[in-house]
Each structure stands twice: as C-alpha cells, then as structure tokens.
Amino acid sequence: MSNKLSSSVPTDREVVLGILNNSEEALNKLYTGYFPMVLQFILNNNGDEDDAKDVYQEGIIVLYNKIKSGNFELTSKLKTFIYSVCRRIWLKKLSQNSRKTKDVSDFDDIISVEVDLEEHEEKDQRFEKMQSALLNLGEPCKTIIQDFYINNLSMQDICEKFGYTNTDNAKTQKYKCLQRLKKLFFQH
Amino acid sequence: MRNEIELEGIIEDYLNGKLTEAEAQAFEQLRLTDPSVDHKVVAHKVFLESLNDYAAVLDLKHQMNQAHAQIDVEGLSKKLGPHPSFIVNLWRKNKAAIAVAASFILLTIVTIYSIQQTTQQTGTYEKLNKEMNSLRSSTNSLIRNVKSSHSVKPNVNPGKFGGTGFALSSNGYILTSHHVIEKSDSVYVQNSKGESYKVKMVYSDPVNDIAILKITDSEFSPLAPLPYSLKRTSSGMGEKVYTLGYPKDDVVFGEGYLSSRTGFNGDSLAYQVAITVNPGNSGGPLLDNRGNIIGIINAKESNSDGAAFAVKSKYIAEALNAIPQDSLVRRIASTKKNQLQGLKLTKQIEKVQDFVFLIKVYK
C-alpha cells in the first residue's frame, strides 16, 4: 500500500554537510524531499495537512539540532530517522488528545529515537518559555531585545531606531528590558 | 545601577569571548571570589543560549515555511491521503479484522453445508423396472397358461424385465415409464386376467420418463370406457394416493400420501410419495381417492423406505398431445368427474385393475 515517493531527495551526506554550512538550499531540498512521507503517515493516522506540517517541522528541528550539535552519526538513513521522529511526535500528540493510537498505519521502518526526543522536548520547553516571556515583555522592550540579540543590531543602530538621545540611554533601556525578560523567563 | 549595567556588559563580552586575555583572567578571579557574580554569569549564559536557540529555531521555522509554500500540499494529500470512500478506508484500516471475519464466515458456511449434506437425500435413485427372476416367472407363466388355456398367444418366452402400465384410451394406448421399455427388442403387455398382447412403442420421452405404447395384437378387444380421469393441475401435499402395479405377476395395491411437491433432490418434474413400491411398480398410475391420475410411479429412493417418486400428471397430458388425436378412441378424460368418484376404495380398485397392465420387456 506504500505509495512510492517520487520527489527528488538529496543524499544524506549532502543534507548533513549543507546544514552544517547553514545552506538554505540543502534545508529546502531536505524539507521538500521528505514531507510527502510524513504527510502520508499523518493523513492515514487521523491527522490533517496542518498536523502534518507541525509534526514535520518539529521533526526537522530535531534533526537540525542533532546535526548542529556535532555528535550526529549516520547510523540509519535520514529518511528512517525523520520518519521515526515524526511518528513518535504524532503518536504522542494523538495520545494527549486521547485519540486512538492503536493500529498505526506505518509506511517505513522505525528506529528508536527516544533520547533525541527527550533532548528536543527540553529545548522545546525553553523555546516556548522564551516565546511567552517575549510576548509578555511588551513593546518596545521586545523589539529592542530582538534587534540586539537576534538581529544583531548595534547599540548605535538601536539608539537611532528608537530615537534615544544617546547610547547610554539606550543601554539603560536595554538593560531594564533584559532584566524584565530574564525575570519572566526564569520565573516559570 | 550603572555598575550593574557595566557588569552585565562585561558578562556578555566575557561570554561572547570579547574580553582581552588579561580582562578575562581578572573577571574569572572575580567570579571565584564573588559567588553572586558567578551566579549572574551562569544565569546569563543559560539565558543567552536559550535566546540564541530561540532565534535559531525561529529562523529555521521561517525557512521551513518558505519551503513549505513551494509544496503542493493539496495535490499530495489527494495522492497519499486515505481514500475518500468510506468502504475503502474501512477495508484498509480493518484488513486484519475483515480477514478474521471472512474466515469465520467461511468456516461457518462449510460447517453448515456439511450438516446439510447429511440431511440431503443421500439415497440413490432407483428405477423400478424389474429384472425378473427368470425361473420364477417361467413357473408363473406356466401356471397362467394352464389357468387361461383360452389365451390365444401363450407366452413361452418369459419377459426379462417388467413394469406397469395403464390404459390411456379404450383402443389400446398404454402409458408406462420410458425406462421400463428402454432399449427393448419387443414389448408385451399382460392384463390382470393374464392375457398378453404385443405392443409397439408410439411415443417416448426420456426426459419426463414417459412412453406410450399401442396394442397391435389383432386378438385385442377394445376396453370399456376408462374409469379414471387425468388431473392436469398439481396436487397438494398430504393428498391420499394409491397405486396399482406389478411388482410380481399379480397386481398389487399400494397406498400412501403425497409427501413433497418435488421429487429426488428437488426435481420439479416429479412428486415425492410416501408409498411402498417395489421393482415392477414403474409406470404404474398414481391416483388420488377421487379417481384422478395425478402421476406415474417411476422410482424410489434406495436408502429409505416409503420415499417413492412419481412423474406429474401434467406431463402425461403433454405426452398425449404428441399422439394423433383421432387415433385415440375414448381417450382418458381430464374432467373432474369420473366413474370412480365417491366409490369405496375396494370398488375403485376393482374397476381400475382392468386397465392396469404388466409390461413385459424382452431385451
């Protein structure tokens, strides 16, 4: 019953090297290459296209972090790894929604990915904490922090962007924002 | 406040490796001596890592969304998703259960079938023409020769096979079973008085197992008007019936009832009759108690007693139509009224037996 996935898939080596070199093209190829596989799995196991997108992106993040962390070894095919990770994530979501998880229709081999997923869950929790902290931070703090830490703007740029009279004022403002953000982030 | 801003700037620079070597060493010394500074460093490190991870994931998600936009999700869904048909889905999801159910049903059918098998009529179908015991029959015919010395045509050569027949008309048309006279060289009929006449076959229907004979013997004098009539409609179950036949050289009466509207294994050409018949009864008339011929005895089931079969009378009517109608003098009527109606059984038999013949077949 497994439909052959016809999309062109990059080799595993290409993907790993591409991600290590921050190649956008490699990520694109990876993403489009294996999405149909996960879509098929989710659609045939009580999910829809949006579920497939969420689960697949989470799976790719797991793979991405694993490759980036440097201790990635190709012990199985990337395909199998992605499938196993996405499968595990989806089954967990299903059981959380107390939907039935018996009789899973499988389309590929499965390997054990428990350790990877535990790591991922920790990271995911921090991600969500940061997300909600930033959300609760409010403007202009949120933008200042994002500009400085994420978009790597200099204090000078921020000073001009927000119309502060001098960089010291900007620094003080950033400091206050950061303290509040840290408080929000660590209190949970 | 200013100090703290300065401190955080230093911590950040330290974590990002922007301090000079001397500054870094001095700062590490400060960390060792002041635990509160050390705590701030650790906390800030975790925080910055989290923020960087957050930024990375956000960036990754952005890239993935761009990639996602290039995918024809809807098209893929149609190709890969579950079949829209409920039945197909049901089949795909429950293949195992369906397989189990199917094998269970199969098993049940086989079981039921095998039970039914034993309830079916397993007996073989045995046609009732009689292979005569030649010794006995020659003795009988000898006796008959003595008795009826006026018989013009003493039958020296005994018949090898026998059956029963009955008159269809006064001028010597006689009906019997096809299988009685099948493959015969010559056929004679013998009445209840022991008189034999040569006959020729004028009609035969192997499918319905019917044959019509015509007495060709010049010695034959026409019979009286037939006492019975022919019933063209079918009879109901439970109908009391009787037959006269020649399982031996003398006419024998048998009584029973119609037990099924169909014959052997559901054969719709015939009735099943609960009546005791023996070889030699084949071709005998089956009458109801109002004197209507409703069938011709032609077989019985070998394994069970009292299950005989009779060809339905409507096929007699069909056979009669095959005979030139003007050659039938005072033919059998298909009226409801006849001479036998209302008579006691013994009287009926007395009247009927003159029209029932022993068929002797030489092969």
Say yes or no: A98 and A58 in one domain: yes
DSSP A17-50: HHHHTT-HHHHHHHHHHHHHHHHHHHHTTT--HH
What string of H, E and C letters represents the secondary structure of B264-330?
HHHCCCEEEEECCCCCCCCCCEEEECCCEEEEEEEEEECCCCCCEEEEECHHHHHHHHCCCHHHCCC
What pLDDT score was predicted for residue B51?
84
Q: A-chain residues within 8 Å CB-CB of B45?
A: none
Looking at the structure, tell me whether residues A133 and A53 fall in a common domain.
no
Q: Which residues pair with B190 in a beta bridge?
A: B196, B358
How many degrees, rounded to 5, is the angle at CA B317 between CA B316 and CA B321?
Answer: 115
Distance of CA B67 to the CA centre of its chain: 65
Q: Do A105 and B63 touch (CB under 8 A)?
A: no
Measured CA to CA, the distance from residue A181 to residue A145 in angstroms comes to 9
* B69 and A CB contact within 8 Å: no
CB contact under 8 A, A28 and B71: no
Whether residue A105 is contained in a domain is answered as: yes
Does residue A163 form part of some domain?
yes
- Please give the Cα distance from A185 to A182 (Å, whole number): 5
A104 burial via Cβ count (<10 Å: 0-12, 13-18, 19+): middle
Model confidence pLDDT, tens digit, residues B36-69: 878 888 888 888 888 888 888 888 888 888 888 8
Tell me whether residue A21 is in a domain. yes
- Listed in sequence order, the DSSP H helices in B120-151 are 134-147
On chain A, the residues whose CB falls within 8 A of the CB of B56 are 68
Give phi and psi for B83, each to the nearest 5. -60, 135
Show Cβ contacts of residue B219 under 8 Å, excluding neighbours closer than 6 positions: B152, B153, B195, B197
Examine the domain organization and report whether A111 and A125 are in the same domain: no
List residues of chain A with CB under 8 Å from any CB of chain B.
Answer: 1, 3, 24, 27-28, 31-32, 35-36, 39-40, 43-44, 49, 52-53, 57, 60-61, 64, 68, 103, 105, 123, 126-127, 129-131, 134, 145, 149-150, 171-172, 175, 178, 182, 185-186
A115, A146, A171 — which closes off a domain? A115
Between the alpha carbon of residue B328 and those of residues A43, B213, B227, the distances in Å are: 85, 12, 16
**Tally of structural domains, chain A:** 2
Judged by CB atoms closer than 8 Å, whether chains meet at B64 and A129 is answered as no
d(CA B9, CA B28): 15
- Nearest by CB to residue A172, choosing from B5, B48, B71, is B5
Final residue of a domain: which of A96, A115, A134?
Answer: A115
Contact B225, B288 (CB under 8 A): no
Give the whole-number percent of chain B exceeding pLDDT 70: 82
Q: Using the beta-carbon criterion (under 8 Å), do B4 and A175 form an inter-chain contact?
A: yes
Look at A35 and B47 and tell me if their CB atoms are within 8 Å: no
Contacts of B71 in chain A (CB under 8 A): 32, 35
Chain A hits for B48, CB-CB cut-off 8 Å, are 149
Is A4 part of any domain? no
Percentage of chain B exceeding pLDDT 90: 7
The residue in chain A having the minimum alpha-carbon distance to the alpha carbon of residue B75 is: A36
Of A64, A130, A150, the CB nearest to B60: A64
pLDDT surpassing 60 at residue B350: yes
Identify the weakest region by mean pLDDT among B61-70, B286-295, B327-336: B327-336
Residues A86 and A36 in one domain: yes
Please check whether residue A100 lies inside any domain of the structure: yes
A1 within some domain: no
Based on the fold, state whether residues A108 and A129 are members of the same structural domain.
no
Average pLDDT of chain B, as a whole number:
79
Say whether pLDDT at A49 is over 50: yes
> Which structural domain range is residue A43 located in?
12-115
What pLDDT score does B132 carry? 52
Distance of alpha carbon B345 from alpha carbon B351, whole angstroms: 10
A81 CA: distance to closest CA in chain B (Å): 18
Residue whose token pair is 């990002």? B16
Q: Is A6 within a domain? A: no
Domain termination site, one of A115, A139, A172: A115
Most B CBs within 10 Å: which of A1, A7, A40, A148, as the mutation test of the B interface? A40
| CA distance linking residue B198 with residue B327, whole number of Å | 18
- Write out pLDDT tens, residues B126-184: 666 666 544 343 333 333 333 444 444 444 455 567 889 999 888 889 999 888 888 88
B126 or A165: whose pLDDT is higher? A165
- CA dist B162 and B250 (Å) reads 12
Q: Is B88 near chain A, with CB under 8 Å?
A: no
Looking from the CA of B144 toward its CB, the CA atoms found within 13 Å total 22
pLDDT at B242: 92
User: Distance (Å) from the C-alpha of residue A35 to the closest C-alpha of chain B?
Assistant: 9
Closest-CA distance, A87 to chain B, in angstroms, reads: 16
Does residue A128 share a domain with residue A52?
Answer: no
Q: Are residues A101 and A176 in the same domain?
A: no
Window B:191-250, CB contacts with A under 8 Å: none
How many Å lie between the alpha carbon of B32 and the closest alpha carbon of chain A? 23
Q: Are B147 and B141 in contact (CB under 8 A)?
A: no
B60 and chain A in contact, CB less than 8 A: yes
Indicate whether A66 and A156 sit together in one domain. Answer: no
Give φ, ψ of A33 to 5 degrees: -65, -40
Whether B50 sits inside 8 A of A31 (CB atoms) is no
Kindly report, residue by residue over B227-269, the tens digit of the pLDDT: 888 888 888 888 899 999 888 888 888 889 988 888 887 788 8
Calpha distance B76→A31 (Å, rounded): 14
Q: Is B118 exposed, middle or buried (0-12, 13-18, 19+ CB in 10 A)?
A: exposed
Tens of pLDDT along B206-216? 888 899 999 98
Same domain, A149 and A105: no
In a domain, A7, yes or no: no
CA pair distance B94, A130, nearest whole angstrom: 44
Confidence grade of residue A103 (pLDDT, cut at 50, 70, 90): low
Same structural domain for residues A21 and A101?
yes
Average pLDDT over every residue of B93-121:
79
CA distance A173 to B21: 29
Interchain CB distance below 8 Å, B54 and A131: yes
Same domain? A97 vs A147: no
Residue A149 · residue A134 · CB < 8 Å? no
CATH of the domain at A155: 1.10.10
Range with the poorest average pLDDT among A28-42, A122-136, B116-130, B172-186: B116-130
Chain A contact present for B89, CB below 8 A: no
Query: Is A16 found in the same domain as A105?
Result: yes
Beta pairing partners, B211: B176, B204
